Structure 1
Amino acid sequence: MKPVIVLGGGGHAKVLLDTLILQGHNILGFTDLQSQASIWGIPYLGHDVEIEKFSPKDLVLVNGIGAVGNNSIRKKLFCFYKERGYSFASVIHPTAIISPRVVIGEGAQIMAGAVVQADVHISGNVIVNTRASIDHDCRINDHVHIAPGATLSGGVHIEEGAFVGAGAVVIQGIQIGTGSIVGAGAVVIKDVPKNRKVAGVPAHMIG
């Protein structure tokens, strides 16, 4: 395995560092826009520009930027370093339950206790957060964040950059449009157009 640098030093980055340690990765350090102390002895390397001192051939990156309702910064960082030839490691917690018939894209992150069933397609730079459940035949496009405890029934399609909040439930066959936000605890029973916010039980448009 190539050495790893984690982008970011916040809460999501700490969860990823914990998983990487558990898996025995060689972690060179982490970057952040604000000065940081080391985390569990893992060194703070400085701002993100420090990454370009390393050749893309010599390491892989892990995107440690979390997103609560806004995936744009996470997407921007991923695309910036991809354009410069860097690769992103997918991080999968050993307690996640994943069918062998799942497709997992570059830089995807599947956290502790998540369940991903057969014929799910998870694209690049996706977060499937703690204890989220994704049932059969779902398609999760690039830069999506499925927050802790969210449940997607079979055949759900989440388009690029959308966010599904903690504990939300999306019934079978629903499509969530590009850039849309599903509020925490919502129950989605109708398709959500792009760039909309929905919340409630059943979910309705807000804002």
Structure 2
Amino acid sequence: MSLLPIILLGAGGHAKVVLDLIHALNRQILGICDPGLATQGAKVWRGLSVLGNDEVIERYAPSHVELANGTGSLPGSHLRRRLHVQFTRRGYRFATLVHPSAILGSGVELGRGVQIMAGAIVQADTRIGDNAILNTGARIDHDGDIGRHVHVAPGAVISGDVKIGKACHIGAGATLRQGICIGSDAIIGMGTTVIVDVASGHQQTGQPPRAPRRIN
């Protein structure tokens, strides 16, 4: 069965990375939809035909194309999630994209529209929910459970058996201790080390020093 051609949504920085990912997988791209480019009257973006705004997608039957969500995911922004829900309800499917340089262990499960970027590592029996991003060089150890719409930013390290609820943002370079739970819609700041559970809707940032302890 041949893979369907892709339409890319969005024209920001994340879209550039997604476009490179699609090229690395040798997938066919029909063009890009972006309201900003359409308003400007742009015809071409990074070698792609600008098809128009997001409503242009309805000219293509859901059975004939896949979508790639080029909208980034930042704390407080829900556009990426909204686009995924909106077009999924209309019957469209989002392509699950894994960079050739990423490493996936045995038993890994990937939801629809997951994007795994260059250098990411996902170890055995980890589940990644729909529309999640594992960004450049992110590392997820064994038995992880990463909810839908989660963004694991570049260089974050998630130890084994960690559960992350839906729509969380795990900042660049953050480190999560094994076995903890992060509730839905939580934010973990850039470079933060997390050693206890974080409740839904809460934010954990910073690096408060702890008293040194003798190593046994």
1:38 to partner: Cα distance: 2.4
Aligned residues of 1:189 and 1:202 also touching (Cα < 8 A): no
1:71 to partner: Cα distance: 5.1
1:100 to partner: Cα distance: 2.9
**Which 4+ stretches in 1 moved above 2 angstroms?**
36-40
TM-score by length of 1: 0.95
- In structure 2, C-alpha distance between the alignment counterparts of 1:22 and 1:88, rounded to whole Å: 17
- In structure 1, C-alpha distance between the alignment counterparts of 2:112 and 2:62, rounded to whole Å: 15
User: Structure 1 residue aligned with 2:81, among 50, 64, 75?
Assistant: 75
- In structure 1, C-alpha distance between the alignment counterparts of 2:15 and 2:46, rounded to whole Å: 12
2:169 aligns to what?
163
Q: Which stretches in structure 1 are left out of the alignment for 5+ residues?
A: none
Structure 2 residue 195 is matched with structure 1 residue 181:
no
2:149 aligns to what?
143
User: Structure 2 residue aligned with 1:24, among 15, 23, 26?
Assistant: 26
- In structure 2, C-alpha distance between the alignment counterparts of 1:95 and 1:71, rounded to whole Å: 29
1:37 to partner: Cα distance: 5.6
Structure 2 residue 64 is matched with structure 1 residue 62:
no
TM-score by length of 2: 0.91
Secondary structure of 1:29's partner? strand
Deviation larger for 67-76 or 55-64 = 67-76
1:20-169 aligned at under 5 Å gives the runs: 20-35=22-37, 36=42, 38-70=44-76, 72-169=78-175
What RMSD over aligned residues (CA atoms) do the two structures have, in Å?
1.3
1:15 aligns to what?
17
Please tell me the residue identity of whatever aligns with 1:93: H
Task: Give CA-to-partner distance per residue, 1:122-172, whole Å, 9 cap, x none.
Answer: 010000000000000010011000000000000110000000000000000
1:70 to partner: Cα distance: 3.3
Secondary structure of 1:160's partner? coil
Deviation larger for 126-135 or 42-51 = 42-51
The count of corresponding residues between Structure 1 and Structure 2 is: 203
